[in-house]
Structure 1
Amino acid sequence: MRLFIVLFFCLSISLSAKEILFIGNSYTAQSRQTLQQLLKAEKCEWKMTFVTKGGFTLAKHLQDSKNIELIKSKKWDAIILQDQSQTPAYGTLRKAYYASLKQIQELCKKDKIPLYLFTSWGRRDGDKKNIKVAPTYEKMQSMLDEAFAEGAKKYKMTPLPTNKLWRAIMEKDQDLGKALYKNDGSHPSSKGAYLVALSLYCTLENLSPDKVSFSGDLSSSEHKLVKSLAQKVFK
């Protein structure tokens, strides 16, 4: 288990930093640096704890008693939950996803901790390991979207709008859409990580994306497009 604790200080005085717990795997880990950069640029203070391990499902994380105790250790301002990227999409795997959400909901019910779903994206060229059911990005994305919407409703969690913004870009600009991925067609590039960071920041701080000046590795035209699309889907 990797455990990262990062504290960012605002230049302006704030009452207290939000304490946020991230539980996930490589998708979360590979978005962390861009999120840190955005928070620093926007002068926002979050105290973040990351529990990430490549390929891990939420169910695997919950098998570790240390993670259970970490969840229960304080009244977090937010907990961000990311399952393995294929798990929410398919049949029995989706049932395991929902079971994990239910377990975490029960752990957090007493303190009424806000829970957020890290909404991931379809594989760029479809899921090659499940090609019959997810032959394209669009098909896989639709299955993921269905799971996130249902899971959020069933367990009273807030889905981040990353998946909606990712889809909007894939439909609007194919070149930028492809650039959201690393070469493996799965993990986020720095541009893909920007969508994660923007979704998190705007959702947890209740801000409009047009208020965000940080552009990461996006060109000025790409940044303009992303913010324009975010304005439409972050509602």
Structure 2
Amino acid sequence: MKLIKKLCIIFLFIPITLLSQEKDVKKVLLVGNSFTYFWNMPQMVNAMAQLDNFPMEVRQSTVGGSTWEEHYNEKRGTKTRGLLNSEKWDYVVLQDHSLSTIEHLNRFNEYGEKLGDAIKNNGAKPYLMMTWAYLSNPLMQKVISKEYKELAKNMNIEAIPVGEIFMKARELRPDLNFYFDDKHPSSIGSYLIALVMYKALTGNSVHDIPNRLLSKDKDGEELILSFISNETGTFLRQLVDETEFKNKLVQK
């Protein structure tokens, strides 16, 4: 009888132990500059994953105004190479300087491929995050889109079309201010970018993502990452949900 009781305790304990173990969390690193970190975009993507109970952790390696060449050669305090060598990642998303495709195309292609190789050597999958045109010159987008797509094709990877969706939103809703200045996104713009990144990374619908995204600081105090109007949020979420991505990057 005592043996039966012990066996029952063991079998009851196993499922509880398994359920209590941490899910297989996919680790994503966003590499870039202020186009990535403005208005807490990486933190917004993390907040969306938490709301969806999606097992993903997004971190960033960003320095304002930095290029892929600087990330690769560890200039200006960039830490990307160190992070690739010291930690295990599942996916690494690369965003270059906003003028690289226009003024430094050779550098853009060379260091995009070099970083891609370094990421693959880490055992991770690289992806590109397409940037957007400046407020003062929407004609930039044609070149930006072309070069990101061509590089992605040459690297046999995907380019997340953030810039194209950003510009489509700007065209459809000229009454909304998607820019903080001539190039950086406003809080609305960064919310849109986060929606695009979240759907591309997970394949999940963003229909139920709230207008207010929250986080907590190291002391447990609530932080508001994003707070936009319901009408604006509805438009942005519908725009992103209607966009078809070739492949979701992260598998559950």
Q: Which residue of 177, 183, 190 corresponds with 1:193? A: 190
The yes-or-no answer on 1:19 pairing with 2:17 is: no
Number of equivalences = 207
Show the 5 A alignment for 1:1-235: 15-30=23-38, 31-64=41-74, 67-90=80-103, 93-126=104-137, 137=138, 139-176=139-176, 179-182=177-180, 184-210=181-207, 212-216=208-212, 217-235=227-245
Contact 1:42 1:214 in 2 (8 A): no
Cα offset for 1:157?
2.2
| Residue 13 to residue 42, structure 1, CA distance change in 2 (3 Å) | farther
Query: How many Å separate the matches in 2 of 1:181 and 1:70?
Result: 31
AA at the equivalent of 1:153 = K
Larger radius of gyration: 2
Query: How many Å separate the matches in 2 of 1:76 and 1:47?
Result: 10
| Residue 232 to residue 201, structure 1, CA distance change in 2 (3 Å) | same
| Residue 109 to residue 45, structure 1, CA distance change in 2 (3 Å) | closer
Cα offset for 1:163?
1.6
Per the normalisation by structure 1, the TM-score is 0.79
SS in 1 for 2:80: helix
| Residue 49 to residue 229, structure 1, CA distance change in 2 (3 Å) | closer
Query: How many Å separate the matches in 2 of 1:55 and 1:186?
Result: 12
CA RMSD for the aligned pairs? 2.2
**For 1:54-83, what per-residue CA distance to the aligned partner results, in whole angstroms no more than 9, with x for missing partners?**
111010111118532322334411101111
Contact 2:130 2:161 in 1 (8 A): yes
Contact 1:72 1:108 in 2 (8 A): no
Instruction: List 4+ stretches of structure 1 deviating above 4 A.
Output: none
Per the normalisation by structure 2, the TM-score is 0.74
Cα offset for 1:147?
1.2
Cα offset for 1:196?
1.6
Name structure 1 gaps, 5 residues minimum. 1-11, 127-136
Name structure 2 gaps, 5 residues minimum. 1-19, 213-226, 246-252
Contact 1:34 1:190 in 2 (8 A): no
SS in 1 for 2:31: strand
Q: Which residue in the other structure is 1:3 paired with?
A: none
Query: How many Å separate the matches in 1 of 2:242 and 2:68?
Result: 30
